[in-house]
Structure 1
Amino acid sequence: MSTGLSLPGLAIEARKALVDVLVEAGFDDRSARSLMVSELRIALRRPFTVPDQLTPRDQLIEIVGVCSRLEEGMGALASVLELMRPGSPECVKVRQLVASLPARDLFPEAQQDELKAWLDGLVPERLPVLVSRAARHAAQTPPRFDEAWAAFSYLADLNSPPGELPPALVFVELLAAACEEPRRAWLREWSSGQARRFRLEQALRELRSDAEGAEPGRDKLHLMIVIQPDAIDLDRFQVCSWRQDEPDEWPPARGETASVSAAELEEHVDGIVAEAEEIWSGRMADVVLEFVLPRSLVNIPVHSWSAELRSGDPQPLSLSYPIVIRSFERMAYPRWHRRWRLRWRKLVSEAALEHVYFCRERDTEERFRLDAILGDQRWVMMVLTESPPRRPVPGQDQLLAALRAGLPALVWHPTATPDVLRQVVSWLVENQGLGELPARTQRSRQAVFQNRQVPFDLDVFRDLVVLWDDPSRLVFLGGTASHLAQGGSADDRDEAS
């Protein structure tokens, strides 16, 4: 990833960290420094000299300082280190350091001045929504701004993970779509130029493709409810929620976290839904309920929970809302996100039955056989042969294999046979209906009470579980999930106690 830094360059702390890594990589050796300078001259296409009278560390300080003041300097330094020390821990550290620099430093001062002339005093419609979409999970709740330049300045201080567009650049691109010509053309040209500098042209193309592919229609809002086992009390759960009030705004503000007993869990969720409906009372929008669950809880029957429990005449939530679950582990584990995003993009663009893999029992008889099958990029959804066990079976686990492969959609049933599930899923996704799977599943649950005629027992829909995971709507869950790489579970209460 290349960066564009203007004088005075990096802060001392950042330069010290980079110099320390170069020392670890062996560049306190004179011949190694000489070769690095030679390669930097080629990469930067300009003369590059370091005074011979300096000590080895002072020479490295000079090298880092010069690179920090050149538009392509830091990217060139990282690339040269990768050339000379491919795959080394030091190479990874430098890439991480460069990626973690404040985004403000990524944009040369002259280019920021040009942008300021176009943004200063500009007040686009729905500015808070554009800021929230650009910030995504880089900021929990962005503040409100009166004009576009102030918003850009705020977003320019937010970092982005390696390989993703900086939030400030995403904001400029979203802003361009909301502006008229000639401002739109200039802003798009500016963002295209920055993406080229960062070598993120593909990420920008994907952002534009997603925006252009959005279909107009009735608004859709999401209520995301996260349930985690309490780390100490085996009979209690931690519950929090994110309520979306604007269809283009994500993430919304996080609701309060409550400690709830197992007996109170359904009623507490009913209260969250009721509060959301009061806020949405003036809206004309569809709503989806999403339960973000760790593996140990994916089989709790959220799809059969009821609404209006205190009314004396409760009804199933599934009659009023599409209900899906999402993977807590995947959301908390960035290592799986790239493949997840790729499969999701394929799902929304090529949703059809031929992209659904129906797992077979023999697929897990040989270690890693299922991983190899799901490595085929055509698959965007899998139908499991059974409900996932609380903990994965190393090398043979259907759920873990699907999450690792990036499949955003999964279906299973606690009792139905694989043959029945094949019939059910084929019926649900016929006529290019895979992209509407949550809504179609909800309508099928309603049909259980309508005596509709289908070629199988409609009762199967009562306990059908749909995991539907949209990677564009993430929230910060806190903590880390690196232990998942070894097949761990988010339910670590035994270890905690």
Structure 2
Amino acid sequence: MPETDQQPNAEAIAHRRRIRKELIQALAAASVLQDADGWSLFLQELSLTLGSGVPAVGHSSFHVRVIKVVNHCSRRADGMRSIAESVNLLDPESTDTAAILRCVDEWHVVDLFADVDVLWLREELQVLRATTGDLHRWAIEIRMTEQPGYCTTAWQLFASLAGENASEGVLPCLRFLERIPPLLSAAAGARLRELLATLSNRWELADYRAEHPAESAVPAAPADMAYLIIQFDKYGGDGDSYLVSHWRQWATVWQPVRGEDRRVLESDLEATVVEIVAEAERRWAEHMGPVTIEFILPDPLLDLPVEEFRRELQSVEATPLAIKYPVYVRSLNRLRSTEWHRVWRNRWQRRATARVADHVVHCAADGSGAVQVEASLGGGAVVMMLSEPPQLGSAGERQLLAGLRAGLPAVLWHRRTYPRPQRCETVTSMIRDALLGSGLAELPIHVAELRKRAWGEDPAQRHYHVGNGIVILWDDPDRLPDRAAAGPITGEARG
């Protein structure tokens, strides 16, 4: 951990004065603090956050009272952070609050780096946009959550990380800076590397990195994973209402960010999904790349045609999700049945090594039940085609249960009845195409393309296209949304 008792240099002192002045101005301008109730609530929250009362600020002018609060908090190690947290609680996501948060972040930079000159970086990093691309991805990977919405430049990202504690032995802000040099000019990149070497020696990070090379290495950046995960779960004993949860994922490692839960009636599931998709698209407006939507469903809803849920319901040209996104379903039952996870992981590993010559597909016989399916499943099978949809009380439901218990990561079915050779040939052909490409990971994409071709048909012919009504359950055991990070539930079931 870095020392915090360094004496600031003259430039840092001047910078701190500027930040203090800007913070006072931002607080004085914040509309939420203008009325008596807002100011009183702010002082209450600030006292709770600090763990001690704020000294009486008297009945002087509002501007003077703000100065007294800032002066008091500036003498506390956690004072400025407490100001930011208190205002953010009262008025989140406002431009007034964003200005205050940025000031507090910069205060942390000066506090942390004391007599080390890092302020020259401000001019270099302020011109680098951080709402998309590598900078955005790095910040998510380091922070393990989405970046704050008020951070739009690399400098603002760096400053926001400066207030966070060390993880994996190294401060998050330094881990961020270590990735920056290639984005700068040659001279600025060299100067930043010198700065990092100085900090590494001063904070004795070189010894730590020598002992933990894997933690300190900067991995090559793979392609982003972009997912919108939407989960339906029965709400209590009410048979007609559901808790709809969702997670957003746009990063190179699996660390989804949970959104607000919603309690809705079954009849409102489609409208709720439309709201969630629109919200995610607004958050991802500056990103580029494909997005996959996956639905985690209780087994009775696995045949719900979620890929046909329409976007922009109020439009006269509302279109199904399947036209724009690859859509697949996952079993909520299996995610929660940890006694099935070992065999699930075994089959998933088999999926990664499958070859064209391998027997990876099991096509369930018409009318076969769970025992028959499990007895006939080969050890190398990773995909199963059901003989019929898994509706309540059907053979398809029993076959699906067998496939989930046996750990099959991929299960397909069709909502229309097809002769066994035809449905098996369709799946086997897609599997062959996937294995000739990048492997079975491509299977959901092949299903998505088949659906799009069906929707591209003349409406009179669409019903007969094999892509109309095909469903894929695609389950990765390494991607389990974190139930512990629950967000607040908004709304009651809507009638």
Interval of TM-score (by shorter of Structure 1 and Structure 2):
0.5 to 0.7
Say whether residues 1:428 and 2:430 are aligned partners.
yes
Matched, 1:440 2:454: no
For the Cα contact (< 8 Å) 1:374–1:401, is it kept in 2? no
Taking structure 2 as the reference length, what is the TM-score of the superposition? 0.52
Name the counterpart of 2:246: 241
Please list, as runs of the form range in 1=range in 2, the aligned pairs for 1:172-191 lying within 5 A after superposition: none
The 5 A counterparts of 1:249-328 are 249-328=253-332
Q: Any conservation in 2 of the 1:344–1:407 contact (CA below 8 Å)?
A: yes
Partner of 2:387: 385
What whole-Å deviation, never above 9, does each CA across 1:180-223 have from its counterpart, x for those lacking one? Answer: 9xx9999697589x9xxxxxxxxxxxxxxxx99x9x55x33000
- Note the 1:473-488 alignment, pairs <5 A: 473-477=479-483
Cα offset, 1:393, TM superposition: 7.8
Equivalent in the alignment of 1:226: 231
Partner deviation per Cα, 1:264-302 (whole Å, 9 max, x = no partner): 211110111011111111111110000000111111111
Mapped to 2, the partners of 1:184 and 1:411 lie a distance apart of 52
Does the 8 A contact of 2:364 with 2:385 survive in 1? no
Q: Is the CA contact (8 Å cut-off) linking 1:131 and 1:151 kept in structure 2?
A: no
User: What is the alpha-carbon distance in structure 1 between the residues aligned to residue 357 and residue 293 of structure 2?
Assistant: 24
Shift of 1:310: 1.2
Change (3 A) 1:364 1:306: same
Name the CA distance, whole Å, in 2 between partners of 1:468 and 1:353. Answer: 22
Q: 1:265 to 1:362 in 2, by over 3 A?
A: closer
Taking the aligned partners of 2:363 and 2:337, their CA distance within structure 1 comes to 24
Name the counterpart of 1:468.
474
For residues 284 and 399 of structure 1, the distance between their equivalents in structure 2, rounded to whole angstroms, comes to 36
**What residue in structure 2 maps to residue 105 of structure 1?**
none
TM-score w.r.t. length of structure 1: 0.52
Q: Is the 8 A contact 1:384 1:410 kept in 2?
A: yes
* Pairing 1:447-466 to 2, within 5 Å after superposition: 447-451=453-457, 459-466=465-472
Shift of residue 380, structure 1, vs aligned partner:
1.1
Q: Is the 8 A contact 1:250 1:473 kept in 2?
A: yes
> How far did 1:381 drift?
1.0
The CA distance in 2 between the partners of 1:334 and 1:425, in whole Å, is 29
Q: Distance in 1 between matches of 2:395 and 2:422?
A: 25
| CA displacement at 1:364 relative to structure 2 | 3.4
Question: Within 2, Cα distance between the matches of 1:232 and 1:177?
Answer: 51
Match of 2:375 in 1: 372
Aligned to 2:338: 334
Between the aligned partners of 2:211 and 2:399, the Cα distance in structure 1 is 45
The alignment of Structure 1 onto Structure 2 pairs a total of residues equal to: 306
Rounded to whole Å, the distance in 2 between the matches of 1:409 and 1:304 is 20
Structure 2 unaligned blocks of 5 or more: 1-133, 146-159, 171-177, 182-192, 194-204, 486-495
Residues 59-78 of structure 1 aligned to structure 2 (within 5 Å): none
Q: Deviations over 1:54-112 (max 9, x none)?
A: xxxxxxxxxxxxxxxxxxxxxxxxxxxxxxxxxxxxxxxxxxxxxxxxxxxxxxxxxxx
Coordinate RMSD, CA, aligned:
4.5
Q: 1:375 to 1:333 in 2, by over 3 A?
A: farther
- Residue 243 of structure 2 aligns to which amino acid in structure 1? Q
Report the Cα offset of residue 403 of structure 1: 1.2
* Aligned 8 A contact 1:353 1:429 in 2: no
Rounded to whole Å, the distance in 1 between the matches of 2:355 and 2:144 is: 28
Aligned partner of 1:16 in structure 2 is none
Residues 328/190 of structure 1: CA separation in 2 closer, same or farther (3 Å cut): same
- Aligned counterparts of 1:303 and 1:224: Cα–Cα separation in 2: 13
Is 1:132 the equivalent of 2:158? no
Shift of 1:308: 0.9
Query: What does residue 412 of structure 1 align with?
Result: 413
The answer to whether the 8 A contact 2:241-2:265 is kept is: yes
SS in 1 for 2:361: strand
Q: Which amino acid aligns with 1:402?
A: G
Encode CA deviations 1:324-371: one digit per residue, 9 max, x unaligned. Answer: 000101111222222222222221332647443333337836x73422
- Give the letter for the 1:441 counterpart: V
Which residue identity does 1:231 align to in structure 2? G
**Does the CA contact (< 8 Å) of 2:367 and 2:387 recur in 1?**
no
- CA shift in 2, pair 1:308/1:352, >3 Å: farther
Rounded Cα–Cα distance in structure 2 between residues aligned with 1:368 and 1:177: 54
Report the equivalent of 1:52: none
Aligned residue in 2 for 1:76: none
When residues 416 and 435 of structure 1 are mapped into structure 2, their CA distance, relative to the original with a 3 A threshold, is farther
**Residue number in structure 2 paired with 1:398:** 399
- Once the two structures are TM-superposed, the CA of residue 477 in structure 1 deviates from its matched residue by 3.7
Q: Report the CA distance shift for 1:263/1:184 in structure 2 as closer, same or farther (over 3 A).
A: farther
Using the alignment, how far apart are the partners of 1:310 and 1:409 within structure 2?
34
User: In percent, how many aligned pairs have the same letter?
Assistant: 32
Matched AA of 2:429 = W
- C-alpha spacing 1:185/1:294, structure 2 compared with 1 (3 Å): farther
Closer, same or farther: CA 405–322 of 1 in aligned 2, 3 Å: same
Rounded Cα–Cα distance in structure 2 between residues aligned with 1:188 and 1:338: 35
Q: Pairwise mapping of residues 12-91 of structure 1 onto structure 2 (< 5 A)?
A: none
Distance 1:467 1:263 in 2: 23
The amino acid across from 2:375 in the alignment is A
Contact 1:132 1:250 in 2 (8 A): no
Check conservation: 1:341, 1:406, Cα contact below 8 A.
yes
Opposite residue 132 of structure 1, the aligned amino acid is: M
Q: Is 1:357 the equivalent of 2:358? A: no
Shifted more, 349-358 versus 463-472: the winner is 349-358
Shift of 1:127: 5.9
Partners of 1:237 and 1:149 in 2: CA distance: 38
The question of whether the paired residues in 1 share the 8 Å contact of 2:453 and 2:467 is answered with no
C-alpha distance in 2, partners of 1:256/1:148? Answer: 24
**Aligned pair in 2 of structure 1 residues 127, 335: CA closer, same or farther (>3 Å)?**
farther
- What letter matches 1:467 in structure 2? L
Q: Take 1:228 and 1:188, find their aligned partners in 2: how far apart are those partners?
A: 47
Residue type of the alignment partner of 2:465:
D
Pair 1:351–1:320, CA change in 2 (3 A): farther
Native 8 Å contact 1:351 1:435 kept in 2:
no
Q: Residue 429 of structure 1 aligns to a residue in which SS?
A: helix
Q: 1:150 aligns with which of 160, 166, 181?
A: 166
Aligned residues of 1:363 and 1:370 also touching (Cα < 8 A): no
